[in-house]
Amino acid sequence: MQKNKNLLELTLTLTSRLNLHSQDIVPLSDLAEYSTEKIKVGSLDLSSYYSTENILPNKEGSTISSGLPALNQVTKVMPGDTLLSNIRPYFKKIVFADRTGGCSNDVLCLHPKLPEYRYLVFLATYPDSFFDYVMTGAKGTKMPRGDKSQILDFKIRKPDSEALCKFNAIVSRIFDEITCRSKENESLSMVRNELLPRLISGEIEII
């Protein structure tokens, strides 16, 4: 997980350098919108469902879900979407989706309006400053939730097409590495979750 965070910090440095040359400041809503498409829960598995329970705090990504909801359908998640847990935003739960899946109602699914915006949207919402901004408009005291309209009004610098193209060419390779590492961790987690109960129960003996 830490290696992935280090890679993301590198992409943030690239983003800041890219934005130094951009004077076009736009709201997040210019680049992304909330997903409204639905997907049947029956088509999901534990690795493709995201909730506030399995999106980890402090930008640590996500883990395998402990179960699927007792619902017919949930919000559809597409590769390249940015997922934000909207309960207690100060926990800083955020994920870049690398597969088709679904998410709970307490997870905001930011879908880029154009494919070339997918990395920019995620990296604009990854810094601590974004979560600080969300908390300024959060509603509720015990379990504050971000204001969806306010979130879309978050201001970011939008680079020109040429700069964005060059940026994506570099960042896509970094995200491919992050995805590869995440899937390796996911496979290890699935093996652990399968074998540990069998070891505890004595079904499997260690010789």
- DSSP states along 150-202: HHHT-EEEPPPHHHHHHHHHHHHHHHHHHHHHHHHHHHHHHHHHHHHHHHHHT
pLDDT for res 27: 97
pLDDT, averaged per 10 consecutive residues of the chain (207 residues), comes to 56 61 85 97 96 94 93 97 97 96 97 96 93 96 95 92 86 80 54 47 49
pLDDT of residue 132: 97
Predicted local distance difference test score (pLDDT) of residue 196: 44
**63: Cα within 13 Å, side-chain hemisphere:** 13
In the chain, the domains with their CATH numbers are 2-201 (3.90.220.20)
- Prediction pTM value: 0.80
